[in-house]
Chains A and B, each alone.
Chain A
Amino acid sequence: MSKSREDGAKKDQSMVIQKEMIANHYKRLERVPETREPVVYTFVPGNLTELVRSFGALPVLPEINALQSGMRKKSGDYIAEAERHGHSEDVCTYVKCDIGMIKAGNIGPTGTRLPKPDLLLLSYTGCYTFMKWFELLREEYDCPTVFFHVPYQGDGILEPEHREYMVRQLHEEVIPALEKATGNSYDEDRLKEYLALSARSEDDLVAVLQSAKQRPSPIDAYFGAVYYVGPIFSAFRGTQEGVNYYKALRQEVEARAAAGLGPVAPSGPMGEEKYRLVVEGPPNWTHFREFWQMFADEGACVVASTYTKVGGTYDFGFRHDPADPLGTQADYCGGCYTNINLPGRIDMLVDYLKAYEADGFVINSVKSCNSFSAGQLMMLREVEKRTGIPGAFIESDLVDPRYFSAANIKNRLESYLQMIDARRAGLSA
């Protein structure tokens, strides 16, 4: 390991804390056959973690398993396994990675066995594929499924009647299903307590993400921030562990900001911040470090990203509100990034470009995810039109290693950054 990498690891202590949290969570999941703790599978967008936890259940998020499998170079084999079982090469690779993992023995990304779900909580938030994913998992696990329909914000707002519809579903469908699956009764006081913890974590997360407004940014708000959102997007929103993590992270980032330091990239602290970029779309996970390093090598720091809002949009003011325990979860689900219509997503990108004083924006269009990708070419043009800032368009996939072409991506990124240089030279001439 190089000295710089050692330095980076030392400085980024929050990553160590998070690793421990995740490892402990997976260990706890592995012990479920002995502890008999109930297990609820659900999705990142629209996850009802506080509610699930309030029933004493452990959440499992298949997207997190898939992306972790991608980062650990296991997803290619899992996808091939699913395709051997008749799954089309055209569809979401998260789904195929998950199905392949189950077919291969259901050993999770950290090497521990995953327990079967007691309930599939199908939070239908911003992604059509979720519906099919849990219909497919139901075939594998033969367990109960409860559907939670989050209406799409087609007109750009969460309609009051849609909010009521969600609250009613929570009351009459989701809570009874959780009671049945866990054997525990609904405890609103406990839920409120967890929601209050969520709001504290959310405050700290927003402070961390918004630190990127500073020059140089102390964080990378895409590659670095996918680690930051990990706990809040998965099993740790509404937990004291989550609160502790975000408090530590915030302190760490504020210290970096005070010292005028930039982010820590895979090979160590990033050098001079030459470019400030906004990124739309999920990252590629199979070559995540290589992908990040391409940006870092060029001095390109991502100062805002939309992917980090897919499990909840907090930087426009929303916080979980313990005073309205079910309504606040409806608000949360409705506002997840992929549940927002295309004009709303464009508004967000434009806002980020201005608020974070970015030099440009990059769209990473992933083959697997139509929810993100369909319409991104139009987003590119609209954002360019509204800001006068040209964007870059690169293509990869979530967890299918066959669709990551390093040379092509590097070439496009370098060309794009050269264009930013040329524009700067033109503007200053």
Chain B
Amino acid sequence: MSRASIAQWAKELYEDLDFSVVRRWRENNPGRKAIGYLPVYAPREILHACGCLPVGIHGGGDRLEIIKGDAFYQSYICHLPRSVIELGQSGRLDMLSGVLFPSTCDVIRNLSGMWKLLYPEHYVRYIDVPQVADPRIATDFWAGELRRLLSDLGELSGHVPGEEELRASLALYNDLRQAIRELYAARSEAPWTVPSEELYLLLRAGELIPPEEFLAKIREYLAAARAEPGRMRDNSRVIVVGSFCEQPPLGLIKTIERAGCYIVDDDFILGNRFLVEDVPLEGDPIEGLAAAFIQSAVKSSVVYEPDPEGKRTLLKAQVEAARADGVIFAAASFCDPALLDRPMLKDGAEKAGIPCIAFKFSENSGQFQQFREQAGTFSDSIKLWGGV
């Protein structure tokens, strides 16, 4: 397949708010369950090992009219939960047998309780990731949580995986994360060949299909990209920070790049590459998965930063790794994790001489003129006065 045809395939999945691809999977796999999860991090390996299809729930973006969802939330709460509720209330998530709610923020946390009341037939689990600094205590706690999830999903799915099956799932997700890293590396190397719009659509499609298929599709895309190099433009190189939970509309990603900023790193759909290192395949697989989270979870706003220097130095390291010229803080309105982190991250970046701009979006933002002007001016200023 060509790059364009893969992107088109991904776009069709992204735009389909009936989740037809998940419904087809269920039809083709009778008796197996599809389990949803909200951002940011959920241990998908456990779902996969239990024979379930992990399904990312990332709201309805700018493609969903909110009719019932607004009745559940005040105006000062972010947009994601109201569109998730809208998806649920309109029956679009009725192919799911359960939903996991990670400890991303209090809005998603409280949505777990709402889900219990709205959908008593669903398995609902709040995923409380460990936050303590001591790795032994944290690993023991997290391994216990993972075992509980494994036991629950084993019961729900009727399939309790053995150690070998668990290891096979860990290995598959190791490969998948490696492929995603290669995809990001390819974009960083030649962003004119791997446009962020295409990369993003591919990631979104990957939230709806079995990981084996996603892995194959990334490899196919990378091969197509190598075969079809794009034409380099005189753009600045930026990283986008703050979009790890509520997702920006596709139009915003396109706007940033068209305004003259190549996105060379970002935190979109961060959960699919949350573990930076491979999960060890030797020893107890649950212990291994737990330890991998403690030792190699990506630095993010949803996990406590024990290192006092951590926030100050994070963006400098990311900018250097991506050879970026500047940082765009793009957070969803009312997103506590992103907006509370921003002053610390921005301060560290500016002290390191990194140019920064900041704006807020909503997943259903429809007007991009102001973003175009901001990103365009940012790119011009970097070209005129230099980036990092």
Binding site for B on A (CB under 8 A): 85-88, 90-92, 95, 122, 124, 127-129, 131-133, 135-136, 138-139, 142, 145-149, 151-152, 154-155, 161, 165, 168-169, 172-173, 341-346, 365, 367, 370-371, 373-378, 382, 395
Contacts and interface: CB of A to CB of B under 8 A. Distances in A.
A303 to B, nearest CB: 25
Given A85-B343, A165-B137, A168-B137, A378 B114 contact: yes
Nearest to A127: B106
Given A382-B117, A395-B74, A88 B339 contact: yes
Nearest to B338: A88
Given A90-B334, A343-B113, A132 B340 contact: yes
Nearest to B144: A161
Contacts of A345: 113
B326 interface: no
Interface string B116-143: 1100000001101011111001001100
A341 B132 contact: no
B177 interface: no
Given A173-B137, A373-B74, A135 B117 contact: no
Contacts of B71: 377
A187 B66 CA distance: 57
Given A139-B312, A342-B110, 6 more contacts: A87-B343, A136-B340, A136-B343, A139-B308, A152-B103, A172-B134
Contacts of B103: 128, 152
Contacts of A136: 340, 343-344
Contacts of A378: 72, 114, 117
Contacts of B116: 341-343
25 contacts: A86-B343, A88-B339, A88-B360, A90-B333, A90-B360, A91-B339, A128-B104, A128-B109, A135-B344, A139-B347, A147-B131, A147-B132, A147-B306, A152-B109, A165-B137, A165-B140, A341-B112, A341-B116, A343-B113, A367-B74, A373-B77, A374-B109, A377-B72, A377-B73, A378-B117
Contacts of B312: 139
A222 to B, nearest CB: 20
Contacts of A148: 132
Contacts, number: 159
Interface in B313-348: 331, 333-337, 339-344, 346-347
B303 to A, nearest CB: 9
Shortest 10 CB-CB distances between A and B: which pairs? A342-B113, A154-B126, A132-B340, A88-B339, A375-B110, A370-B106, A371-B106, A374-B110, A341-B113, A374-B107
A349 B251 CA distance: 44
A311 to B, nearest CB: 17
Contact of A342 (B81, B105, B117): B117
A365 B117 contact: no
B76 interface: yes
B117 A149 contact: no
Interface in B127-173: 128, 130-134, 137, 140-141, 144
B109 A135 contact: no
B305 interface: yes
A120 to B, nearest CB: 11
Given A129-B106, A365-B74, A154 B340 contact: no
Contacts of B331: 88
Nearest to B104: A128
Interface string B56-88: 000000000000000111101100010000000
Contacts of B341: 132, 135
Nearest to B127: A154
Given A128-B109, A370-B106, A375-B113, A152 B336 contact: no
Interface string B166-197: 00000000000000000000000000000000
Contact of B131 (A88, A124, A342): A124
B44 interface: no
A90 B334 CA distance: 5
B3 interface: no
B77 to A, nearest CB: 6
Contacts of A151: 128, 141
Given A147-B131, A371-B106, A135 B137 contact: no
A14 to B, nearest CB: 33
A128 B129 CA distance: 12
Interface string B278-310: 000000000000000000000001001110100
A91 B340 contact: yes
Nearest to B308: A138
Contacts of B107: 370, 374
B131 A149 contact: yes
B311 interface: yes
B289 to A, nearest CB: 17
B111 interface: yes
A142 B110 contact: no
Nearest to B108: A374
Contacts of B76: 90, 367, 373
A202 B305 CA distance: 35
B334 A149 contact: no
Nearest to B71: A377
Task: From B308, B337, B340, name the one whose CB has the most chain A CB atoms within 10 angstroms.
Answer: B340
A135 B106 contact: no
B342 A169 contact: no
B339 A90 contact: yes
B342 A88 contact: yes
B336 A128 contact: yes
Contact of B346 (A86, A95, A149): A86
B336 A92 contact: yes
Contacts of B301: 132
Contacts of B104: 128
B141 A165 contact: yes
Interface string B90-107: 000000000001011111
B111 A375 contact: yes
Contact of A129 (B117, B141, B308, B340): B340
A95 B306 CA distance: 19
A376 B111 CA distance: 11
Nearest to A148: B132
Contacts of B114: 342, 375, 378
Contacts of A395: 74
A152 B102 CA distance: 11
Contacts of A343: 113, 116-117
A377 B131 contact: no
B336 A91 contact: yes
Contacts of B305: 135
Contacts of B339: 88, 90-91
